[in-house]
């Protein structure tokens, strides 16, 4: 299932205006449940070439992968739970893609360094 959501980054206008909130699209899994008000998801932000990923709403571990769109090279991949920070300061500028896979859930977002 793919939702037509904008993958554009949104900027916060307060003191933390340099933090970019990444929009993650649901590409597979987590069909809405009739009896549940809770839709587990992950959240990601970009600040100063560091991507912070919050996986605390997911019930199991997730694989987080960052890929350079220019070269197709996987520049980061890790399995984890909870929160993680991904330092991309050694990566070149340009478009990147983040994929988060946990069980049947697959989230994807795009950002520019």
Domains and CATH numbers, the chain: 10-30+38-112 (2.60.40.3080)
User: Which of 100, 104, 96, 107 lies closest to 20 in space, CA to CA?
Assistant: 96
DSSP assignment string, 12-28: --STTTT-EEEP-EEEE
pLDDT of residue 112: 92
Query: pLDDT tens per residue, the chain (113 residues)?
Result: 333 233 333 333 444 677 777 777 766 655 544 444 556 678 899 998 999 999 988 888 999 999 999 999 999 999 999 999 999 999 989 999 999 999 888 899 999 99
pTM tops 0.85, yes or no? no
**Tokens of residue 109, six digits:** 């977002």
pLDDT of residue 1: 31
């Amino acid at each position: 299932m793919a939702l037509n959501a904008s993958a554009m980054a949104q900027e916060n206008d307060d003191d933390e205006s340099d933090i970019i909130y990444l929009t993650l699209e649901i590409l597979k899994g987590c069909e809405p449940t009739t009896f549940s008000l809770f839709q587990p998801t992950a959240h990601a932000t970009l600040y100063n070439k560091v991507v912070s990923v919050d996986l605390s709403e997911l019930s199991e571990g997730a694989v987080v992968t960052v890929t350079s769109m220019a070269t197709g090279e996987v520049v980061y991949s890790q399995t984890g739970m909870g929160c993680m920070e991904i330092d991309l300061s050694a990566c070149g500028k340009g478009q990147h893609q983040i994929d988060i896979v946990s069980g049947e859930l697959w989230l994807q977002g795009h950002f520019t360094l």
